[in-house]
Amino acid sequence: MNALDIRTRNLGVNFNRDGHANVLLWAPKADLVEIFLLKDDSRIPLQKKKYGYWSLETNAIEPGDEYLFILNEKDRFPDPASLAQPSGVHGASEAIDIKSYKWTDIEWKNIPLKDYITYEVHVGTFTDEGTFAAMIEKLDYLADLGITAVEIMPVAQFSGERNWGYDGVFPFSVQNSYGGAHGLQQLVDACHNKGLAVILDVVYNHIGPEGNHLENFAPYFTDKYNTPWGNAINFDDAWCDGVREYFSDNAMMWFRDFHIDALRMDAIHAIKDFGPVHILQEIKQDTDMLAQQTGRSHHLIVELDLNDTRFINPSDKGGFGMDAQWIDEFHHALRVSSGQPKTGYYSDFDAITSLAKSYEDAYVYDGAYSDHRKKKFGMKASENTGQQFVVFSQNHDHVGNRMLGERTSQLISAEMQKLLAGAVMASPYLPMLFMGEEYGETNPFQYFVSHTDPELAEAVRKGRKKEFEAFHVEGEAPDPMAEETFTNSKLQWDLINKEPHETMLGYYKKLISIRKEQPALSVLNRKDLSVESDEKQQTIILHRQYKMQEVICFMNFSNEPREVTASIYAPVWFKLIASSDIQWGGSDELPETIQEELKLTLPPESFTIYINQNE
């Protein structure tokens, strides 16, 4: 269990009820620690405590003051737990009173995880302004779309003003160019007042390369394990207790002080922790304890590339207790089914059959041999509920990690886009959209950074080029450092009132409303589901049921009409939606009702739902 008090923020500079500043720093190898105040060039020594902590209570520090820590009377660094970096990652930290914000969401209760329909957002490219304040102006749009949860890509302070967010080096500090800590609080407050939950993407598997001062304070990293980013964060080596408390304190801060409803933890398979209590278990324990104290529930969602249910199983079943995980395999199977090439990590997936398996079993690889990995991979997830898996037809990774960052709208037809959207919404899992997909955004989402270190910038350029060797892609990747790469990735909001984008947006709204309104789709019971797939015909018939209500979803991934028959009887079948209807930009009108045998000729690249009750 975390030794720090989860009821309040512990690390860094915080203000108590008397207005005094409480300062706490973990620097176990320092012989002397002082805090340096820029306003008057004063230095105040901290007192050494147990386990490498240094502390101070003083009335000499006020909100807005900028400061640095001085170690051993010579080296000056920003606060590892800084809440604000007004001059960027290389500048001084700013003391702010995180508890001073006046919340208006007192009545807010988190949405049950099963009802999450998530919309992933990158703050910098979501609007022209690229700020939290500008995002607030779009919340009515998201609510009208039917979204119930907004997922914000990482906002921890990174170098410069352009970055996906996974290069953050101050985990407690909210990116200054987005609007800082109070800007994020205002956004969360506004979301809750619109009925929207907020998911924040956090990175606990590595720290970014530029402005990373953690190692100057303590052994935050260990050479016991290698990761794609170098030495692993020290979760189980000597001095790991302070590291674990640092990250758990961070997670509790987002829930407690920013009212975040859920965390999405980036690539947790890259977290190296072989101690008796995994860091994820510790964060889960602290999350549950915080919920008992505040009465607010919070969810922990992980990005996981291991097909290992241990991470999402509860602690009483030997698991780590994470509430849900992303499953990329559904995405990979869906993309291959749409006709996209089987290169790189798509090579392991077969059109239609892999997608059908993911509908039934969540994991495509649950013990079978993976040729891409050259080993048997995964385990069965038959006892895990549908709400434990997040699925999507695109996200920031699978768009932005393409060399040119092309969105789905630039790779497949509009008819196929509608089919992919339906395939996600009809699944027994939690659906997620990537910003702009709902109206067929045509701008790319490319990889961009704004490092100030020339050597690092060049290394990033070379790394991007090497990354595409496995995909056998020719040509040159856009320069990640160029501002043009960033501006080219911004959403074009004027498209939502133009065709064919307006029709696509209407189709998404209808799909989402059907998902919400029909219990056979909204109740995520994986047991009442069956799939018929025909690899040769390139069709899937997905059957879902809740009590007496039955829904049949027809998917034709081929470019030819296909005759299909559902092997389920009802006196009358009613059409809920057909992507091929003229209303949605198609050219075929499927019948509104069908008697008894549900037999159809599916138009090419189409998605269709029939139901046995007209509700």
* Residue 392, annotated as binding a ligand: no
* Residue 470, annotated as binding a ligand: no
Instruction: Provide the angle, in degrees to the nearest 10, between the axes of the packed helices 414-425 and 328-337.
Output: 150
Return the sign of the alpha-carbon dihedral for residues 496, 499, 504, 510: positive
Q: How many residues does the chain have?
A: 615
Return the sign of the alpha-carbon dihedral for residues 510, 516, 517, 520: positive
Closest-CA residue to 6 (of 236, 250, 171): 250
* Residue 266, annotated as binding a ligand: yes
User: Could you tell me the CA-to-CA distances from 182 to 36, 80, 96, 129, 411 in Å, in that order?
Assistant: 24, 19, 9, 17, 39
* Residue 90, annotated as binding a ligand: no
In sequence order, the β-bridge partners of residue 199 are 151, 262
* Residue 268, annotated as binding a ligand: yes
* Residue 371, annotated as binding a ligand: no
* Residue 128, annotated as binding a ligand: no
The most distant pair of C-alpha atoms in the chain lies apart, rounded to whole Å, by 85
* Residue 397, annotated as binding a ligand: yes
* Residue 399, annotated as binding a ligand: yes
Contacts of 499 (CB under 8 A, 6+ apart): none
* Residue 144, annotated as binding a ligand: no
3-state helix, strand, coil in the chain (%, to 5): 30, 25, 45
Structure tokens at 319: 């698991």
Return d(Cα 431, Cα 415) in angstroms, integer: 20
Q: What φ, ψ does residue 543 adopt, rounded to 5°?
A: -110, 125
* Residue 236, annotated as binding a ligand: no
User: Could you tell me the CA-to-CA distances from 444 to 127, 400, 402, 406, 492 in Å, in that order?
Assistant: 14, 8, 10, 5, 11
Active site residue ranges = 266, 303
Closest-CA residue to 516 (of 507, 506, 525, 524): 524
Structure tokens at 358: 């993911």
Q: How many CB atoms lie within 10 A of CB 84?
A: 26
Structure tokens at 523: 């109740």
Return d(Cα 396, Cα 489) in angstroms, integer: 11
* Residue 400, annotated as binding a ligand: yes
Q: How many CB atoms lie within 10 A of CB 574?
A: 16
Q: Which amino acid is at 70?
A: I
* Residue 482, annotated as binding a ligand: no
Looking up tokens 């749009």 gives 141
Find the distance separating the first CA and the last CA of the chain, reported in whole Å.
50
Return d(Cα 107, Cα 575) in angstroms, integer: 39
R_g of the chain, CA atoms, integer Å: 25
* Residue 497, annotated as binding a ligand: no
Return d(Cα 551, Cα 541) in angstroms, integer: 10
Return d(Cα 53, Cα 241) in angstroms, integer: 11
Return d(Cα 429, Cα 411) in angstroms, integer: 25
* Residue 398, annotated as binding a ligand: yes
57 CB-side CA count, 13 A: 7
Burial 176-207 (b: 16+ CB within 10 A, else e): bbbbbbbbbbbbbbbbbeeebbbbbbbbbbbb
Q: What φ, ψ does residue 390 adopt, rounded to 5°?
A: -110, 130
Cis check for the bond before 500: say yes or no (omega within 30 of 0).
yes
Looking up tokens 């001062």 gives 213
Residues marked as binding for substrate?
264-269, 328-332, 396-401
Residues marked as binding?
264-269, 328-332, 396-401
